[in-house]
Amino acid sequence: MWGRVFSVKAAALKLGTMSHNTVDINRQMNRFDTHASVWLFGYGSLIFKADFPFLERRPAHIGGWTRRFWQGSHDHRGTETAPGRVVTLVPEPGAVCHGMAYLVTPEEFAHLDYREKNGYLRLATDIHFEDGSSTEGLVYIATHENAAYLGPASERDIARQIAASCGPSGPNSEYLLELAKALRELGKFDAHVFEIERHLGAFMV
């Protein structure tokens, strides 16, 4: 897993310091460009907001990663001066992250790269489906090296920041609540997400 992260990081370094905007780096991730279709694993807004055409959608999970509200959002759920918080994945041996996988054509990545441009890099990963089958696909992950990364904070402090943040895509609280709802609909428990949701009410005016 880290080999893949490091190879993307090497690509980033070739392009210079990692900036907020990862579009140019992601364009170099051409591994699936010649495929007729590719599976994309979504674990955050990609679960509840599929604003792109897809051929098929299936609940899925990936291993070795855990979902955390540790990524700053300056472009969607916050602003440059008052970033919100959105999810990224953090490596954790033995962890399983549940989400939704979409089968898309490679042309969709132009739109997806733009949508995920604030620090997310396309990484190749094994995606596991509920029937026990698996396939290699892509996931967008914002590593701790990206400029928009905010890192760990208590669930209470994260809830406070989310309650106060709003950006062009709407209130940060909507992102959190939609994600929690989508995970419940999938029948998946996420202690971190649900604990932030529990604290949110105390900070909403």
Site residues (vs ligand SIN, CB under 6 A)? 42-46, 86-87, 116, 140
**Single-letter code of the amino acid located at 122:** R
Q: Name the residue nearer to ligand SIN (CB basis): 14 or 86.
A: 86
Q: How far is the CB of 44 from ligand SIN (least distance, A)?
A: 3
Q: How far is CA 52 from CA 26, 39, 101, in A?
A: 18, 13, 13
Which single residue is written with the structure tokens 């990545």?
Answer: 109
116 catalytic, yes or no?
yes
Q: Which of 56, 80, 108, 116 is catalytic?
A: 116
Q: How far is the CB of 181 from ligand SIN (least distance, A)?
A: 14
User: CB 37: neighbour CB atoms within 10 A?
Assistant: 16
Q: How far is the CB of 43 from ligand SIN (least distance, A)?
A: 5
Q: Name the residue nearer to ligand SIN (CB basis): 43 or 70.
A: 43
DSSP 21: B
Q: Name the residue nearer to ligand SIN (CB basis): 52 or 203.
A: 52
Q: How far apart are CA 56 and CA 128, in angstroms?
A: 15
Q: Is 66 within 8 Å of 57 (Cβ atoms)?
A: no
The set of catalytic residues is: 116
